[in-house]
Amino acid sequence: MGYTHYFRLNIKNEDNYFKAIEAIKRMVFKNKKDLKWDVKNREGIGFNGKRNSGYETCYFPLNPFAEASHFNCVKTARQPYDKFVVASFLILKHYCGEDVKLSSDGRIFESNPYEDSELKESVEIAEDIVGGRITEGPSSTVQSHSDLLNKLESSIKNNPNPDKETCELILLLRSKVKLDEDMEAISGKQKELENKLDNWWESLSLEAQQDYLKKHPGSDKIITAS
């Protein structure tokens, strides 16, 4: 088949999946000098390299939840856009964790991405988009902090004199859990607004889109980023 990357989706957390999709959209927009959209509609998104730098479309469905498991692959033939395809896979793994299984003819997903020099460029692209170090999936930050908080609060119920350090940690964790929950709510609202913007833009005819962009120079940077 040539040099190909594969992913299998078994999405249990839709919010995390859509966070990954929005991040991949940002990656394509931020690198639009190298990438282009082959597909961007209600069914899915798919990008490719511009001119001779691409090969097959790297496609992600927007409704993989309709089936128990969704499999897809993209043959890149090691073309220049390959680093962006790999970055998009790393972004997907970062947000979705065990809901996503990655593999490759290059065996590049079999170890820690930070230990594979071949992934250096892709890791840097992914880090730039997620705003920090990529992971092998969400450790369910909100849930892990909540779990620790619950354990600590349970541990002091029968202890009338808990140590000072435990009390301080409980107070810090309560603040952190609240902050995590607020960030999740903001992210959900952002996704909702971006979807409304997408739907509005796609409802316009090509002529209406072109006319709007002529009347409002620079608005394409906002609209196409969504």
pLDDT digits (tens, 9 = 90+) for 49-88: 998 999 999 999 998 876 768 899 999 999 999 999 999 9
What number of other Cβ atoms are within 10 A of residue 58's Cβ? 30
Q: Is 70 helix (H, G, I), strand (E, B) or coil?
A: strand
Helices in 36-138 by DSSP H: which ranges? 82-96, 120-130
pTM value is 0.63
Question: What is the tens place of the pLDDT at every residue in 127-178?
Answer: 999 988 888 765 444 445 676 777 778 878 877 787 888 888 888 888 877 8
Per-residue pLDDT averaged across 102-126, rounded? Answer: 87
Q: Domain residue spans in the chain? A: 4-130, 141-223
Above 50 in pLDDT, residue 193? yes
Q: Could you give the CA distance from residue 100 to residue 91 in angstroms, rounded to a whole number? A: 11
Highest mean pLDDT (candidates 32-41, 176-185, 195-204) = 32-41
How much is the pLDDT for 142? 45
Above 60 in pLDDT, residue 93? yes
